Amino acid sequence: MKYFNAFVMIVSAILYGSCQLKVDSGSKKPHILFIAVDDLRPMLGCYGVEDVKSPGIDKLADQGIMFLNAFSQQAWCSPSRTSLLTGLRPDKTRVYDLVTNFRDATPNAITLPQFFKSNGYKTLAFGKIFHSNMDDTVSWSIPTWEPKVIDPLKHYVLSENIEAAKNRNGYATPYERANVLDDDYPDGQITAKAIEALEGMDGRPFFLAVGYYKPHLPFNAPAKYWEMYDDDNIDLPQNTARPIGSPEYAFLTRSEHHNYLGVPPLPSGTPLPDSLTRKLIHGYMACVSYVDAQVARLLQALEDRGELEHTIVVLWGDHGWKLGEYGSWSKHTNYDVDTKVPLIIKPSGKVFVNAKVKSIVELLDVYPTLVSLAGFEIPDTIEGKSLLSLIESGGNEENVAFSQFIRNQERNYTTYKDAEVIGQTVRTDQFRFIRWIDKKSPTTILATELYDLRKGEYEMINEALNEAYSEKIRALSELLDKNFHPEEFQGESFD
């Protein structure tokens, strides 16, 4: 309890908002509700995007701490999730792709749910927590539950889409609007099963992980969520050009949206037609509102049971997602639009703070933060740091975030084994610096990028060759040298 009491006192003095507190007085360990959302960028009402209707998540943000500058360690599902769940960076887990299991390189890693399981918690998972088909069985008290459908990510309910998907590896249209109930799609089913599990708890503290598939493509959601928005009122992205001076490694030549029916095979970096762009953004927003409704159901179930007050709640997106920015879609870059994520943490105890932390944090920090909030000592084997120390400093630490991505020469989807180039990046409060290195010769730098984010919201002009920034580049290069050590693993085969 000493960790939580300190947290409460600090939050009450934080820069933004006011608070009323009711602190748990018993010795029982708090429950944990761990909500992961696939492909969710910080496109929520609580993050200032007023056009998006997300009252459930907004309410959670009002009751907790919202981190305005949180970044993933890689803008791809499995590497990002693995890093958060192990508390280790990709260079330790050796997970840079969608086919590698972290247990190959780090068999003795203690995952976040495994830590709580070993400390008396009942740990359960519903939906996508680890990457699909890579669940870590030792992390859970019972096997992970996923919807009984062919592919939860590409699940259609309309017959024409079901038929179209049969001969296309599951890919039909990039969106679906159907007059069905929430539970006719996988995310509604996940919510129902998680609530059912809550009703069967045995009194032990629980770590309940709920992983939603949307707003991942295809943008399929019940019609009532589509009806919240109108194509005519959806703004087109303003920055559709690639950053001036960016190297060819910066973007993929082809992204996942190209797999779907009705998406023209335009060259990478060429914006889609305006009508299709608006429809896709409409679909993404509908899916965000659909997932938001599921989050609200979960929180209401906890409140109805009288357990919300005694539950730590964390909600996070595994990476960002482009909605036409840079003339591109999906994730897979080292830029803010793909690495920046929503992160909201509500501690146990009745806290109404509406607190916003501006300092840079990493998803890597979630593991130690939950451990310390629950009153345990942080394992010395993990690489993240508790965010309690950030709040103790007044929320103004000059932190940095590190991310990375792999590429092959064709710049399409690749495994680490077949990758030839690694992009390493550091994000400070004012700059993003990226260097692309030869995987086989890590000291060989193939390209560099420096973006002065004081000049605008997005990375738009590469200043790497601007002599005025030479000292800044030197300092940021040193930061990368201290953080990334891929040469230590040359010759090891964790592919």
| Whole-number pLDDT of residue 398 | 84
Amino acid identity, position 479: L
Alpha-carbon distance of 98 to 77, in angstroms, equals 8
The Cα–Cα gap between 370 and 312 comes to 8
Pairing relationship of beta strands 122-127 and 206-212 according to DSSP bridges: parallel
Within 8 A by CB and 6+ apart from 405, the residues are 74, 75, 76, 332, 333, 334, 422, 423
- 189: helix, strand or coil: helix
pLDDT at 24: 40
The whole-number pLDDT of residue 358 equals 92
- Residue 59 tokens read as 């309410």
In a domain, 351, yes or no: yes
Distance linking the first and last C-alpha atoms of the chain = 43
- Examine the fold and report which residue of 379, 399, 419 is the final residue of a domain before the chain moves on: 399
Residue 237, preceding peptide bond in cis (omega within 30° of 0): no
Q: Which two tokens stand for residue 28?
A: 């029982």
Q: Name the residue range of residue 424's domain.
A: 402-489
In a domain, 429, yes or no: yes
Between CA 343 and CA 433 the distance in angstroms is 23
Q: What is the CATH number of the domain that holds 436?
A: 3.30.1120
For residue 388, the model assigns a pLDDT of 86
**Rg of the chain over all Cα atoms, to the nearest angstrom:** 22
Last residue of a domain, one of 347, 380, 399: 399
d(CA 358, CA 17): 13
Q: Are residues 395 and 407 in the same domain?
A: no
CATH number at 259 reads 3.40.720.10
- My answer on whether 236 and 120 are in the same domain is yes
Of 399, 418, 445, the domain-final residue: 399
Q: Is residue 294 part of a domain?
A: yes
Length of the chain: 495
For residue 350, the model assigns a pLDDT of 59
Examine residue 7 and state whether it is found in any structural domain, yes or no. Answer: yes
In the numeric block, which tokens belong to residue 256?
């996942």
- Cα–Cα distance between 453 and 430 in angstroms, integer? 5
Residues 148 and 278 in one domain: yes
- On whether both 210 and 158 belong to a single domain, the answer is yes
294 and 239 within one domain: yes
Catalytic residues: 77, 131
Q: Evaluate whether residue 171 is within a structural domain.
A: yes
In a domain, 285, yes or no: yes
User: 3-class SS at 334?
Assistant: coil
> What is the model's pLDDT at position 492?
47
For residue 205, is it within any domain?
yes
Residue 494 lies in a domain: no
DSSP state letter for 454: G
Query: What three-state secondary structure class fits 420?
Result: coil
Same domain (yes/no): 324, 465: no
CA dihedral 441, 444, 447, 452 (to 10 degrees): 110
Q: Residue 100: what residue type?
A: T
Residues 278 and 424 occupy one common structural domain = no
Same domain? 39 vs 115: yes
Do 390 and 458 share a domain, yes or no? Answer: no
360 and 438 inside one domain = no
The verdict on 79 and 228 lying in the same domain is yes
Q: HSE (CB half, 13 Å, CA atoms) of 449?
A: 28
255 in the same domain as 167: yes
Q: Write out the chain's pLDDT in tens, 495 residues.
A: 444 443 444 443 343 333 332 334 346 899 999 999 999 999 999 999 999 999 999 999 999 999 999 999 999 999 999 999 999 999 999 999 999 999 999 999 999 999 999 999 999 999 999 998 889 999 999 999 999 999 999 999 999 999 999 999 999 999 999 999 999 999 999 999 999 999 989 889 999 999 999 999 999 999 999 999 999 999 999 999 999 999 999 999 999 999 999 999 998 899 999 999 999 999 999 999 999 999 999 999 999 999 999 999 999 999 999 999 999 999 999 999 999 999 999 999 856 566 889 999 999 999 999 999 999 999 999 999 999 877 666 567 789 999 999 999 999 999 999 999 999 999 999 999 999 999 999 999 999 999 999 999 899 999 999 999 999 999 999 999 999 976 555 444 433
**Total domains present in the chain:** 2
At 446 the pLDDT is 97
Question: Which DSSP category does 205 fall into?
Answer: -
Q: Which two tokens stand for residue 470?
A: 């030479």
Among 457, 488, 8, residue whose Cα is nearest residue 243: 457
Determine the pLDDT at residue 493.
42
Write out the E strands in 213-354.
Answer: 219-222, 311-317, 322-323, 329-330, 340-346, 350-352
